[in-house]
Amino acid sequence: MDKLQSLLEERGPIKKIGVIGMGYVGIPAAALFADSAEFDKVLGFQRNSPTSGYKIDLLNSGESPLKGEEPGLEDLLQKVVEKDKFECTPDFSRLGEMDAVTLAIQTPFKDPKDLLPDFSALEAGIRHVGQYLQPGMLVVLESTITPGTTTGMAREILEEESGLKAGEDFALAHAPERVMVGRLLQNIQEHDRIVGGIDDVSTQRAVDLYEPVLTKGRVIPMSATAAEVTKTSENTFRDLQIAAVNQLALYCEAMGINVYDVREGVASLKGEGITRAILYPGAGVGGHCLTKDTYHLERGLQIAKQADLDFPQEPSLYVTARHINDFMPEHMYNLTVEALARINKNIANSKVAILGWAFLNDSDDARNTPAEPYRDLLIDAGAEVKVHDPHVLLYPDVEISQDMEEVLDGVDAVVVFAGHRQYYSLEPRQLQELSGQTHPVIVDGRNVVEPDAFIDAGFVYKGIGRGDKNGHEVK
């Protein structure tokens, strides 16, 4: 029996779990571990920093510091705090009491151009674990990371800080999160869980950690690097699919046809073994995941490469997809300029209302929102810009209003950037009145309005992929 196996058997089943990073991933994960009868106690580790120290008391009173609707989370937190199965602490020395520690810390990119991620927060977390690591403990990285990080940077820091050896004295694995805001608990319980250890013993120990919290999901074991590539490529593929339909939308605009007719046609080919997952074009791709995971995968190829890559003299398809999706806010700007020009208005002296600051419809999450580069282009061009969003209340250096009338008052153009439910009932006459314009402009980046209703009311309409309408006669 290898050394690690016997250490784990000596330690027995996992009973105490530490979760580092009280955010969108760490909080629901800790609550579900704590709610499982398999485990005795869960500690949530949170630095008592000026920006996020407030979370400690909030969590210890059973309240969620997460913004926005998260079905079931508040009740579950109340329950596990009352039962003393969950506690949040800034005391990292208690890590040494744990059987397993998971790290759910953000891994943004400093600058995608040179493929350099900002791992500073993750490194600090791993170093904390290394300082208190005991033989027989399991360490799991849940953050989305560059392939090669678990067997590379993470292993090195843990061994350096602890003097212990991964795969001999402690178990090490990667089990990437697959959650979406608005359904965090459900995603953790129902999505299959990718679990990849640096060796089979580590993989099995990590399976023992995650299996108890899964309801519909099943565990899919593999190597740590395969798990890292699985996570980064599933988001890269989604980004690629979105780029494919965004490119199609741009083609349809140039060809004078409706991308949604084409989309319905393409999606109609069904049957034996045929899956046509054609997604939706739009004003851009935001969020904390699709905007960076391609670069994690590309960087992973550089650091985890074990053989020469045999690839044609072509740019990476994945990076090209990123560039196409990053172009969409600029395309929205071009559509706005074109529309205003149709009524002899210049962007420089125009008032523009942006509807929807969140990166996702019906959410308050505005991380890497595509509306921001669009707004920057408008302001650089001298336009006056107002922003409306029913869910996003605060955003650095951007004033966001929940008062539609105030935002639309006297505007020349209304530009839809997020598909929030309420925007599907935008009413042309009401908008026209509020704008006070005979020919207001509407640019629809999420296909929320019926073009003819606005065109008939005298609007200048532009829509992503609506080549069949974008050249309409102004009535």
Catalogue the active-site residues: 231, 289
Which residues are paired to 20 by β-bridges?
45, 103
Kindly tell me which of 358 and 383 has the beta carbon lying closer to ligand SAJ. Answer: 358
Task: Judge whether 90 and 20 are in contact, CB under 8 Å.
Answer: no
Phi and psi dihedrals of 313, rounded to 5? -70, 60
Min. distance of Cβ 326 from ligand SAJ in angstroms? Answer: 12
Pairwise CA distance, residues 1 & 7, whole Å: 10
Min. distance of Cβ 21 from ligand SAJ in angstroms? Answer: 13
Min. distance of Cβ 146 from ligand SAJ in angstroms? Answer: 14
Pairwise CA distance, residues 168 & 133, whole Å: 13
Min. distance of Cβ 87 from ligand SAJ in angstroms? Answer: 26
Nearest Cα to Cα of residue 23 among 48, 60, 52: 52
Pairwise CA distance, residues 299 & 175, whole Å: 19
Min. distance of Cβ 364 from ligand SAJ in angstroms? Answer: 13
Kindly tell me which of 28 and 286 has the beta carbon lying closer to ligand SAJ. Answer: 286
Nearest Cα to Cα of residue 389 among 427, 351, 415, 428: 415
Pairwise CA distance, residues 399 & 376, whole Å: 13
Kindly tell me which of 14 and 448 has the beta carbon lying closer to ligand SAJ. Answer: 448
Kindly tell me which of 233 and 435 has the beta carbon lying closer to ligand SAJ. Answer: 233
Kindly tell me which of 144 and 225 has the beta carbon lying closer to ligand SAJ. Answer: 144
Pairwise CA distance, residues 409 & 406, whole Å: 5
Kindly tell me which of 184 and 426 has the beta carbon lying closer to ligand SAJ. Answer: 184
Nearest-5° Cα angle at 310, 309 to 314: 100
| Contacting residues toward ligand SAJ, per CB under 6 A | 144, 177-180, 234-235, 238, 242, 279-280, 282, 285-287, 289-290, 359-360
Min. distance of Cβ 445 from ligand SAJ in angstroms? Answer: 9
Q: What is the 3-state secondary structure (H, E, C) of 261-305?
A: HHHHHHHCCCCCCCCCCCCCCCCCCCCCCHHHHHHHHHHHHHHHC
Nearest Cα to Cα of residue 5 among 163, 208, 160, 176: 208
Pairwise CA distance, residues 323 & 337, whole Å: 21
